[in-house]
Structure 1
Amino acid sequence: MRWTRRRGIGHEPEGGGAVLLIVLVVLVMGVAGWVAAYAGANGKVPLGTTVAGVDIGGRDQYAASAALTDGLRRHGGEPITVSVGTFTTQVDPAQAGLSVDSVATVAKVLGPRSWDPRRLWRYYTGGDETQPVVNLDEGQMIAFFDELDAQAGQPARNAGISLSGGQVSLTRPKDGAQIDRDRAAGALYDAYRTGSTSVRLPLRLVPPDVDDAELATAVTTLANPAMSGPVTLAFAGSQVTLQPRQYADLLSIVTKDGALALDVDPTGLAALVNPSAQDTEPVDATISLAQGAPAVVPAKAGETYDEAGVTAAFLSGVTAEGAARTVPVTGSRTEADFTDQDAAQLGVSTAISTYTVPVPGSVGPSFGEAVARLSGALLRPGDTFSFNATVGQVNGSGTRLATAAWNAGFLAGLTDVSRTGSPTYAAGLPAGRDAMVGAGADLQMRNDSTYGVLFSARLEGSAVVVDVWSTKEFDVVATTGAPYAQTPRATVADSNPNCVGSAGQDGFAVDLVRTVTRIGDPAPLRTDTVTTTYQPEQAVVCQAAARPTNP
């Protein structure tokens, strides 16, 4: 009888324990290997990874960055041969603004921390050549292209016009060539990133700013008009006319804002015109007699001119036609110190004194001219009148004009500053009231009133009349006393055949007393005594010469 053993609960198959043990051992070893693999790959660059020939595999982020930076020192310093057209040069990548970002490059290949077997597999088997992350400094690259353009590029030639010597000469436009910067930047960037040692940069055509059509327009509107005729610059008190032959070499036709424009050498133009010589001084307002009454003569502003104003006026006229070629020059306005309102406030409104002195019929035209120079003399409050400065030298009868002026001023209340009486009394002149003028003697009076004083003078028949105009502020009483301190004349005999006898006259002194009061107030403001002493004039008695006795 054969017995068969059945499996039952609580019974293990034959050899089962050994199998289970093996499985457990394998499992433990696999997990241990996985952990070991993770520990070896965690946070590191895959083995075999290279960047531009530099091995950075198996390193953590910091070690890989350091290794890449160190390894790229030589790579980064190698120049790149750059060709542009027929021009070739070498450039240091750093000079062109190119550099490798080691940290970013390592971060790109490092990958995330992971237990994923694929990540671990890639670490141990997936390392390969990786292109670096490149930084670009746009400012440095633009500067490099600027320098390269200056060497390899060809600037466009604008159309131009020369007016040298008064002749119109034309320059035809021509296209230029410059680096195509957008495409060139990409090509240079890629060459550096991929480790290429040479690169060709593209060019592009650059059209001129001023073409043939604009050249033709400039000839018609600028060159031909500029040479068509003279230009006249009108200043406040003068004009300067310039002929084309004078200014042609100062002109140039230049490119401004993409168009042809006329320009001129301002210094050369100023040398022709001399702006400062055209300056005008301001003229103060004054007062003169118009139709027998005082009237304000308006002030005139002065003008100061400079190069800028002359240049602007010239350029506006040189391309104009006809009358428009005469151009006013704008200067800097200088106002007068004494304005129309100042003159009106002087209060010169009425004649407050007058004096008449007879003149001999022998006076010539020069006396009338002296009278005209005196007429219109204006004294502001505080001013001092000088006969010599106002009238100047008078040929003949100057004393008579000065006498009329002094007495008119004296009766108007002017303060006597300087008066010289005649050395001997002259018949026809008021005793004690005459005034002599000349090289050593000046007549001076000061206006101490609150109003202006205007002298007017005129010839009436055989007399000269001087009026003083103002606003009457004072009452003046002048009295001439009786002569005193008489000095007898001497008598001399003259036997000269050409003797002219003279009665002569005694010398004497006389006082002129003036009392000045303010209108409405009888109390004297001042009393002046003017003493004049006349020297005697000798008498001349003509005697016949004694006849010789015959022997």
Structure 2
Amino acid sequence: MTQHLLDSPSWEEPAWEDPEPGPRRWPWVLLAVLVVAGALYAGAAWWFGDRVPGGTTVAGVDVGGQSAPEARRTLAAVFEDGTGERLTLTSSVGTARLDPTKAGLSVDVPATVDGLVGFTLDPGSLWHHVAGGGEEPAVVTVEKAAFTRAVTAARKRLDAEPTEGSLSVAGGKVAYTEPVDGSTTDVDATRRAVQRWWPEQSTVEVVAQRIAPTTSAEELERVRDDFAKVAVSAPVRVKAHGTTFEIAPRTFAPAIVLEPADDGTLTPRAAEKRLRRVVHAAARRAGAEVRPKAAVVRFVDGDHTRPKVTPSVDGVRLEDDAIDSAVWQAISSQKRTAVVATRKDRPEFTTAVAKRTLPREKVSSFTTYYPAGQTRVHNIKRAAAVLDGTYIKPGEQFSMNGILGERTPEKGYIQAGVINNGRLTENYGGGISQVSTTIFNASFFAGVRLDAWQAHSFYISRYPEGREATISWPDLHNKWTNTLDGGILVNVTATDTSITVTYWGRKKYDVEATKSKRYDVIEPRTIVDDSPECLPQNPTPGFKVDIGRILRRGGKVVERQSFTTSYQPEDDVTCTAMAS
């Protein structure tokens, strides 16, 4: 084996004539190269450090290749004199132009240039110098208070409250308006956005917060699809009292309420009173509902001792609770038929009530007087004939204008004296204020509730002082309500010289009248009138007087009432045209 090694051809003797290997030099060469390169890099960094990279712009202003002083002068010429300053804020609502100076905005030119120059060994910066720069942001300073004031003033153009949507079935058709989000500007975030993008961008979108409507589009659309479209899809058929009738969507639509709750949820509901009115009206038209008829009381020859009662008749009425449930369910579903229960509908004034409340005694009576032969007497008698025999049920209201209506020649009235604006004149029905005054006094002493009356403008001596009532169509009324325990038969009789009103019923009160002395007296004026229409007047002072009514029952006072009557003076009028 040793021999094998000694015989191996791979073992050779070194040649004695080859030179001996020396020390290695390449590391030194590499180091030298690096030193030179570093020196060149540092030199380049130093050389470029005082210049803006070529091709660099600031807010569109070219400062590439300029030295720091040159760049500052270039930018100052644009920004420090304000020629390049403008700012428009935009939002989803609108736009607003701001004066940057008033908004506290300014470009810090020195800081901007400092950010573009200066010694640095950053390879990226050196690359910009070699390859060329680009658009660089300006350094912007903001005075917060001024900016806040400016943006706050502009918010009326940038902000908006949300617009609530709506859903309606008016007219039997679905109408939907989509809600719109509102917007409110975040002033601090907007300031930061402006500081970043202005003046490079003259238009900056504000940073805003979305304000959602109370009721979302999803909620409105859900109710539209699940309820509204179904509700007006077809008429509702109602079965009641053996009759079937239909109600069209346009008819019942006003009874559908689609109003969101405070939390934005929308639950359709019925306006119950309105829905009931709609269904009752439709039922009456179809004959499924019949109004009751009250008993009618008449008196033979106006004699309270000879009453004749026409019996009352029950009606048929749909049950309100059934309308609320069955009809609403039919409106709300594809099943369009509602079965509604009915009930007997009795009138308030039944036969039994009519008989139980018939008059049995004289309650009150009052008479006023007038000279015979006057034109007005014809009208007094005409009105008395119409009013005579009127029967006022318990709780019912008497209205003199309601019974007589407008006084016209066709109704048998003639022109006679009336008072108009404090002066005597003529009109159809003149004189029936005496009928009204007599009725008022009969009502006063009957103890009924006095609802509406008006004294004459000036005092007329034939009437009780302070206790009288004029009347005129259609505005001046004489109304009272029967608050006694029985019906009241009104008998009115007029002769050539007097009118008497008597109430027959069930006496409830003993009535005592009181009256104060006159006060606040005003003397009349003297007027000379040459117009052909003039009517002479005798002077009467104006005054005030307090009238009282004491109601007793079983000897005990149950109520005291009082009112004040004011009279204007009746002027002394002399008509010269008549005298000539």
Q: Radius of gyration: which is bigger?
A: 1
TM-score by length of 2: 0.37
- State the TM-score, normalizing by the size of structure 1: 0.39
